[in-house]
Amino acid sequence: MNIPSPRRRLSRWITAALGALVTAAGLTAFGAPAQAAVDTGAWYAIVNEHSGLALDVEGAGTANGDAALLWTRTDAANQQWRFLDSGNGYYRIQARHSGLVLDVYAKSTENGADIVQWADNGGTNQQWQVNEQSDGTVELVNRNSGKALDNWEWATEPGSRVSQYDRTGSAAQRWNLIEVSGDDGGGQTGDGSVSDPNLQYYGRWAADGSWRTMGWAGGYVEAAFTGSSIGVHLRNTIDVWYSVDGAPEQWRRNASGDVTIASGLDGGTHTVRIGFRERAGSYTGDPAFGGFNLASGGSTASIARPDDFIEFIGDSITVGQPNGDRPFTTYPYLVGEALGAGHTQVAQGGACLVSTADGCYGMMDWFRRSSAWVGHDDWDFSTYQATAVVINLGTNDIGHGVSTTEFYENYIVMLERVRQAYPDAEIFAMGVFRNRYVTETRNAVQVRIAAGDGKVHFVDTSGWVDPATDTWDNVHPTDAGHRKIANLLTPIIDQYL
């Protein structure tokens, strides 16, 4: 059973830009096939058109790196696959027996690369486009490489390998999706641990032994679960917020250890979302997540991810400081929720666009890191791909001696780096609410547009915020101020998603 996320707008059909994809891969462009409708709640045998053999995990292995291959169709659990929605017409293809997903090993873009199963990390090398062919078969195209899942060397013997190869449209690259019967078709249940493939992470979460730590602000974890209660396993003291079954978010302040956040639930399937107060400034809480604690007999089920994901890059205004109920009262969180999108805030109080000699965090550099407390560029952008990025920077640079020329030149670099990180994202550069460097921000956007980037936009925020009524201190918006900003920004982003 695939459970929808608790807060979701009506999904949209998004047509893939296939012509651009194949051109970028150096292929001859051919007509874009229709994206096939797959049932994300069903399990399928994936059978090669040329050989009649089924996609299989070698030896029914359950380890990362076990090979995908072709075998006589048996409909065993290691030949059953379901399609987990990654948004924008892409899916992760999950093996029923292991809960791992189909992966192009080491993110290779080469013909002949190994196809394996691996823990679901949302990487583009684990995302596949399902293109319906005129004969009813499908072509499976990897998002990272642009290459098709291929019966290597047109094999017909069980045990033969599968790989990726330049798209040819041949029978070796066409697959029949055959829905299979079996126990309940309900999917792989999970135990709520940090590596449970049913858990959905949003934002910058880093592995830390048996924990996942939330970097920056506004990250959260979602799951669907059964059982009469739900709890969370924490390492050290932290302020944790939560929502069960889409109810308004609530806090547990100064929590640690095993914390029950809901009990007395009925016997159905429920949803949970949790997040932490960001570690920043004098607040040194430990934003470490050790998994969900399930009731006896309870389990997790898969929960759908939304089509879109928005990353907001900024300073204390984007974080929502000093408001006590951040992040869920901030304009980034409100915009994401209104659009039914996943969202996160890569933001830090006091941050600048430009790194300065007196120590201002320059987000043109720091946004490439997993958190504000690491000392090098460590973030793997294949972990997730944003469909939109919103930049709100320039409030603080003037206090650190950044000239207008320096700001303009570095904003261009910022836009180039965001584009490199997120090749397909719509990028929104906001003029800051205090009207600093607005001309430079607008001109930097124009430079990128002139360079051929048609997905970058300047957002004029003039008049959005009245310092006297919408802020605490002429700078930081109140909760009401954040709602006002969200109401103005949401329709601007909406028209591009």
Residue 368 pLDDT exceeds 90:
yes
Q: How far apart are CA 194 and CA 192, in angstroms?
A: 7
Per-residue model confidence (pLDDT) at position 59: 83
Residue whose entry in the numeric block shows the structure tokens 């890191």: 369
- 186 pLDDT higher than 50: no
Residue 181 has pLDDT above 90, yes or no: no
Assigned token pair, 6: 């608790």
Residue 1: is its pLDDT beyond 50? no
Domains of the chain: 18-179 (2.80.10.50), 200-301 (2.60.120.260), 309-494 (3.40.50.1110)
Q: Provide the mean pLDDT of the chain.
A: 90
- Tokens 């907001």 belong to residue: 312
The residue length of the chain stands at 497
Percent of the chain with pLDDT over 90: 78
Question: Which burial class, exposed, middle or buried, applies to 432 when counting CB atoms under 10 A from its CB (0-12, 13-18, 19+)?
Answer: buried
Asked if residue 27 has pLDDT above 70, the reply is: no
pLDDT above 60 for 14: no
Where is pLDDT greater, at 122 or 172? 172
- Looking at residue 475, the DSSP 8-state letter turns out to be S
Pairing between β-strand 230-234 and β-strand 258-262 as defined by DSSP bridges? antiparallel
DSSP of 308-351, one letter per residue? -EEEEEESHHHHTTT-TTTTTTSHHHHHHHHTT-EEEEEE-TT-
Strand intervals (E) in 199-317:
200-202, 205-208, 211-214, 220-226, 230-234, 238-244, 250-255, 258-262, 269-276, 288-294, 300-301, 309-314
For 55, residues 6+ apart whose C-beta sits below 8 A from its C-beta are 45, 46, 47, 48, 68, 69, 70, 79, 81, 162, 175
Cis status of the peptide bond prior to 327, with omega within 30 of 0: yes
Closest CA to 351 of 409, 411, 410, 393: 393
Q: What are 268-287's pLDDT values in tens digits?
A: 889 999 999 999 988 999 99
pLDDT of residue 150: 97
pLDDT greater than 80 at residue 13? no
In whole angstroms, how far apart are CA 216 and each of 364, 387, 396, 485? 15, 19, 18, 21
Query: How much is the pLDDT for 73?
Result: 86
Ramachandran region, residue 106 (left: φ > 0; alpha: ψ -120 to 50; beta: rest): left
Chain position carrying tokens 């309940």? 184
Element (H, E) at 412: helix 404-421
Whether residue 157 has pLDDT greater than 80: yes
Per-residue pLDDT tens for 283-325?
Answer: 999 999 999 999 998 999 888 788 899 999 999 999 999 999 9
* pLDDT of amino acid 467: 96
**pLDDT tens for each residue of 371-406:** 999 999 999 998 889 999 999 999 999 999 999 999
The arithmetic mean of pLDDT across residues 14-41, rounded, is: 49
What pLDDT is recorded for position 301?
86
pLDDT at 183 over 70: no
pLDDT bucket at 370, cuts 50 / 70 / 90:
very high
- For the cut 60, the answer to whether the pLDDT of residue 472 exceeds it is yes
Within a 10 A sphere around the Cβ of 273, how many other Cβ atoms? 23
Q: Residue 235's pLDDT band (boundaries 50, 70, 90)?
A: very high
Say what the pTM is.
0.68
What is the residue whose two structure tokens read 């998994």? 291
pLDDT for the residue numbered 262: 96
Tokens of 157: 């013997």
Q: What is the mean pLDDT of residues 190-210?
A: 92
pLDDT at 421 over 90: yes
Q: What is the pLDDT of residue 33?
A: 57
pLDDT tens, residue by residue, 46-104: 999 999 999 999 988 888 999 999 998 878 888 999 999 998 899 999 998 888 999 99
The pLDDT, as a whole number, for residue 60 is 82
